[in-house]
Structure 1
């Protein structure tokens, strides 16, 4: 029987049959392996590098050939969902977390030339950086900045954006380098901005209080057409964005100091969304530095209606803070309410817990790419039915998951958040249980 050696985790598993792909084998053995589209060859998140045993894999099919050509892969890179094993192979998974997925957009950016695309741009600036630096030792300052970059970078990544640059005390996020509509890219940028605001509040409350420091930020968001590409010396090309929208966004962000605001949007962003989507606190008119015309700037308070994606994202830190503990609490609740479910699992509940947390985090990240998420959920539902999961188990899972989230978040849990999780889990369950309807006949 053929074996797959996962070099990064030094684990060897046996392939069950010739019809199982490498991705199927990963799932069978509870090895977390990203596959946003559910293993349908529509994304490239399950990609692997073949270390040895190339000759023991099926040749690239049309889907793989298209991906390899578009992204300029060398022959060692394969889609795990599309290649089948005929003999022993050594492989390495190349995309380890959902946060890394957005970087894959850069593979479609042209080399050595620039291409004009519609993008949303977010500038986030740390206030009073010079004063804060003078009050702390260099080591403490480095620690605080690393936490700042991490907690404020995550909302960019979870909303289908990429971190373009760190410039001193400033973070620049870009949305739409891989395509998307104006509305989608602007919504992603706004969710990221609001997510940054929530993240900085948690950072101040839980981590920076020991340093007797409070971080404050200003955010500017704009939308426009800019040139993007990998430019520079042929031996050292860098991803670069060139265009007036970048400069305008920087100036919009700087206006937060003058107006004593936190998040300012350009008129281009507001006009890109349906009416009454946003709750606007104030509107300002300002001639930006270096510009002749007057710009209308909107102070963002939030969404007029609760936004499911943003609510779920705000709870993800609590869920992933202690993954093993969360998974154990969840499964204990499930087995107590539905004892028959216990028989579906083997003895290694630690590995099962890791797989659960990997899946939960992946789903929340994938909400910004709903077309892929639906495909992934349908494939997940199909595999669950194969393993003996019955429709009546899904409400139990939903209730136990929400109860566990509520326990983990404590006083930070709100009815609004519970409603968002109910809505999300309803959508997830519907897609997982109706996979036959969506599957083409024949």
Structure 2
């Protein structure tokens, strides 16, 4: 009797081919089963679009769009080649391309909600960050060095925007602008996200100064201003060259707030609209200032942002990711070595390439930190992971081993940067993660 030939899924970009041997599995299930990192923030429930793919060949071999997928496609204006992997079933060979490769790219998906050709009023938090004394730095250093410094600057201050569900709106010379809430969200959340991004920028720049820029004899100083208000957002411009545009007094005021840092020698200033958007006592505030900006008939109250009054778990986790994942392969090796030492029987559950498994582990852990800024998807995403691990044979008894091994590995990788409050933050979130996942274990 001839062997049954299963459909083959080809992943363009990584050149990997896998057999699709379970007709009841979606393409997303197929990716996860074969240890191919594939983003799926909502846990494969068709409520987000992070698992989207482009079908390069074999589109007729996929199931028709479900109602959920059709609604998503119409809202996001997709062409027929773009599909949700969590809603697709294959009946023949297909070649696909994952369209969202990293968690940081998820923020760009918000731009699909911005109207084309008209501007729509939305309530957003706006962050401006500017390098101080940039002209002097440019004169005193050669062009290649300054290009390197600027690239590093834009990377380290852009990451906190993306980690906190923000969108990088534009670069203006030595300045970067971030927007929070362009696709919705509560006023409190958008302002918290912007404040957390600003503090993340501050910490990242301090690290850059103390580590990489010492050899250049440079020290970067910045000014950050945050405002909240209703602005008009749309893709505007020539029909053949439209760009995202944000228009309105709130964005102009955010720029002026950033600039006011120079007058009072502060680092981060927020407007009263931001300060009043969160419960009293949320922010740690330094000095307070009053000023009247050009074109305003009223005085503006500004507050110097120093931090959060209580430990902000997201900020602590975000700040530690670079240390923990300085070598992702090493991190995964140490973690699995600990797991196998504590529970030798678990080794039999891992029958495939451990290098691929390690890549999937760090992808998952980093994704959890990113998705904390989008909590509406976190619980369902963990449910998907819990069910997947249950199918592999992970039981409830294994989760304490996973938790202790993960915490020990994180502490070791943090090294000199390890702090009790940071370990407390990681312990809290990992307890939540493992508790949610083991609900689906036997």
**Fold agreement, TM-score > 0.5:** yes
Superposition TM-score, scaled by structure 1 size: 0.97
User: Which of 188, 206, 215 is the aligned partner of 1:201?
Assistant: 206
Q: Tell whether 2:91 aligns with 1:86.
A: yes
Distance in 2 (alpha carbons) for counterparts of 1:424 and 1:49: 34
Distance in 2 (alpha carbons) for counterparts of 1:256 and 1:136: 25
Q: Is the Cα–Cα contact under 8 Å of residues 52 and 89 in structure 1 kept in the other structure?
A: yes
Structure 2 runs not aligned, ≥5 long = 1-5
User: Which of 4, 8, 13 is the aligned partner of 1:3?
Assistant: 8
2:3 corresponding residue in structure 1:
none
Q: Tell whether 2:25 aligns with 1:54.
A: no
Distance in 2 (alpha carbons) for counterparts of 1:347 and 1:15: 16
1:22 corresponding residue in structure 2:
27
Query: What is the correspondence of 1:29-68 to structure 2 with a 5 Å cutoff?
Result: 29-68=34-73
Q: Is the Cα–Cα contact under 8 Å of residues 379 and 435 in structure 1 kept in the other structure?
A: no
1:286 corresponding residue in structure 2:
291
Q: Tell whether 2:234 aligns with 1:229.
A: yes
1:381 corresponding residue in structure 2:
386
Distance in 1 (alpha carbons) for counterparts of 2:147 and 2:359: 31
User: Which of 130, 133, 138 is the aligned partner of 1:125?
Assistant: 130
Q: CA deviation at 1:347?
A: 4.5
Q: CA deviation at 1:334?
A: 1.4
User: Which of 413, 416, 424 is the aligned partner of 1:411?
Assistant: 416
Superposition TM-score, scaled by structure 2 size: 0.97
Q: Tell whether 2:394 aligns with 1:421.
A: no
Q: CA deviation at 1:282?
A: 1.1
> Which of 338-347 and 66-75 deviates more?
338-347
SS in 1 for 2:86: coil
1:158 corresponding residue in structure 2:
163
Moved over 4 A (4+): none
Distance in 1 (alpha carbons) for counterparts of 2:379 and 2:308: 25
1:368-400 residue CA offsets vs partner (Å, 9 max, x unmatched)? 011101100011111111111111221221222
2:271 corresponding residue in structure 1:
266
Distance in 1 (alpha carbons) for counterparts of 2:401 and 2:130: 44
> Which of 190-199 and 312-321 deviates more?
312-321
Distance in 2 (alpha carbons) for counterparts of 1:290 and 1:408: 52
User: Which of 288, 297, 300 is the aligned partner of 1:295?
Assistant: 300
Q: Tell whether 2:384 aligns with 1:351.
A: no
User: Which of 88, 98, 101 is the aligned partner of 2:106?
Assistant: 101
Q: Tell whether 2:330 aligns with 1:341.
A: no
SS in 2 for 1:329: helix
1:319 corresponding residue in structure 2:
324
2:255 corresponding residue in structure 1:
250
SS in 1 for 2:63: coil
Q: Is the Cα–Cα contact under 8 Å of residues 395 and 438 in structure 2 kept in the other structure?
A: no
Distance in 2 (alpha carbons) for counterparts of 1:67 and 1:326: 37
SS in 2 for 1:279: strand
SS in 2 for 1:293: coil
Q: Is the Cα–Cα contact under 8 Å of residues 390 and 440 in structure 2 kept in the other structure?
A: no
Q: Tell whether 2:438 aligns with 1:433.
A: yes
1:439 corresponding residue in structure 2:
none
2:373 corresponding residue in structure 1:
368
Distance in 2 (alpha carbons) for counterparts of 1:409 and 1:377: 25
1:190-211 residue CA offsets vs partner (Å, 9 max, x unmatched)? 0000000111111112211111
SS in 2 for 1:81: helix
Q: Is the Cα–Cα contact under 8 Å of residues 269 and 302 in structure 2 kept in the other structure?
A: yes
Distance in 1 (alpha carbons) for counterparts of 2:52 and 2:41: 11
Distance in 2 (alpha carbons) for counterparts of 1:304 and 1:435: 36
Q: Is the Cα–Cα contact under 8 Å of residues 47 and 79 in structure 1 kept in the other structure?
A: yes
Q: CA deviation at 1:101?
A: 0.2
Structure 1 runs not aligned, ≥5 long = 437-442
SS in 2 for 1:392: helix
Distance in 2 (alpha carbons) for counterparts of 1:345 and 1:148: 41
Q: Is the Cα–Cα contact under 8 Å of residues 166 and 172 in structure 1 kept in the other structure?
A: yes
SS in 1 for 2:341: helix
1:259-297 residue CA offsets vs partner (Å, 9 max, x unmatched)? 111100100001000111111111111112332211110
> Which of 261-270 and 321-330 deviates more?
321-330
Q: Is the Cα–Cα contact under 8 Å of residues 6 and 91 in structure 1 kept in the other structure?
A: yes
Distance in 2 (alpha carbons) for counterparts of 1:321 and 1:177: 32
Q: Is the Cα–Cα contact under 8 Å of residues 399 and 438 in structure 2 kept in the other structure?
A: no
Distance in 1 (alpha carbons) for counterparts of 2:199 and 2:343: 38
